Amino acid sequence: MLNLIKYEIRGKLLTILGICLTVIIGNLFLMTKVSSGGIGIPLLSTVLGIGALIVISISTLTIMSDYLYDDQGYLLFTLPQSGVSILASRLITAVIQISIVGIVSLAMFCLLDQGRTWNAMLQGATLPEMLYSILMYLWTIVSTLTFIYFCMVIGRIALKGKKIGKIGSFIIFFILSIVRNGLAFLIANFFPQIVQFDSVTTVTMNIGSTLFDVMIFGLLFMATSYLLEHKVDL
């Protein structure tokens, strides 16, 4: 599994560096305009950062679709690696990729506004809240990606053809998302118990729907691993 991570990162090294460089240069350029731009400058920096994150997120999807549809899949799927190993390494690499870009964007933004926003955030925040944020950040990436990968793998197995497969995956994702959110909503209504804690922001978590989300993630992870190992036909 570690080897898979190593090679996936090496494969996308240019992309990651390219994006980071763009963010850095873009922000350096913005810094020269700080005095004259007003509120627009930090805004542009944020937009740049978000753009960078979108690009790197898309790249986490293209890696999987390359495996499923391109000749590279022959190399990966003949390795003696289990489906769990392949999926786990993919998720970990994605977290690493996104985090690198995220940290660079955030760092550049802080440089830009001289750390004012950062300090303001840190003052109000408690340790549990910071841990919670990080946990939520990781959870969002991992659970969303697993969900998308599941739809991609189903699309690959059920539908023939690259274009049809990809469009089909998207449609499946769309439909399943609605179903999933609908169910989560229903569960939240039936079990309105919540957990709440306040600090900088008030965080409200519905126990029922959170448990539901975790269960779904677990199920989809196992299902995707199984399908990758036993059902993908190249």
Partner 1 sequence: MDTILKAEELQKSYFNKKALQGVNLTIQQGKIVGLLGPNGSGKTTFLKIAAGILHPSSGTILIDGQEPGVYTKSIVSYLPDTEYFFKWMKIKDAVQYFKDFYTDFDERKAFELLEFMKLDVNSSIKSLSKGMKEKLKLTLVLARKAKLYILDEPLGGVDPTAREKILDAIINNFSGNSSMIITTHLVNDIERIFDDVAFINDGVIVLQGNAEELRQSKNKSIDELYREVFQ
Task: State yes or no: residue 222 binds partner 1 (CB under 8 A).
Answer: no
Q: What are the tokens at 63?
A: 């890696």
Residue 80 contacts partner 1 per CB under 8 A: yes
What distance in Å separates the CA atoms of residue 48 and residue 133, rounded to the nearest whole number? 22
Amino acid at position 203, single letter: V
Residue 44 binds to partner 1 (criterion: CB under 8 A): no
Which span (48-56, 161-169, 177-185, 224-232) binds partner 1, by CB under 8 A? 224-232
Residues 184 and 212 sit within 8 Å (Cβ to Cβ): yes
**Cα dihedral across residues 103, 39, 130, 58: positive or negative:** negative
Q: Give the number of other CB atoms < 10 A from CB of residue 228.
A: 26
Question: Residues 186, 188, 192, 194: what is their CA dihedral angle, to the nearest 10 degrees?
Answer: 180
Q: Determine the interface stretch with partner 1 among 7-15, 131-139, 169-177, 178-186 (rule: CB under 8 A).
A: 7-15
Joined together, the tokens standing for residue 233 give: 């036909």
Q: Is 202 helix (H, G, I), strand (E, B) or coil?
A: strand
Give the binding-site size for partner 1 (rule: CB under 8 A). Answer: 24
Among 35, 78, 123, 196, binds partner 1 (CB under 8 A): 78
Is there binding between residue 163 and partner 1 (CB under 8 A)? no
Q: Among residues 15 and 144, whose Cβ is nearest to partner 1?
A: 15
Q: What's the CA gap between 128 and 130, in Å, rounded?
A: 5
Does residue 88 interact with partner 1 by CB under 8 A? no
Among 10, 123, 127, 202, binds partner 1 (CB under 8 A): 10
* Contact by Cβ (8 Å): 232, 157: yes
Bridge-partner residues for 152, per DSSP?
Answer: none
How many whole angstroms separate alpha carbon 177 and alpha carbon 167? 15
Q: Based on the shown chain and the rule CB under 8 A, indicate whether residue 162 belongs to the binding site for partner 1.
A: no
Assigned token pair, 200: 């900088």
Min CB(162)–partner 1 separation in Å: 14
Indicate the residue among 143 and 225 with the shorter CB distance to partner 1.
Answer: 225
Pick between residue 36 and residue 230 the one whose CB is nearest to partner 1: 230
199 interacts with partner 1 by CB under 8 A = no
Q: Which of 14, 36, 127, 193 binds partner 1 (CB under 8 A)?
A: 14
Task: Please identify which residue in 35, 36, 71, 196 interacts with partner 1, judged by CB under 8 A.
Answer: 71
Interface residues toward partner 1, by CB under 8 A: 3, 6-7, 10-11, 14, 71-75, 77-82, 160, 229-234
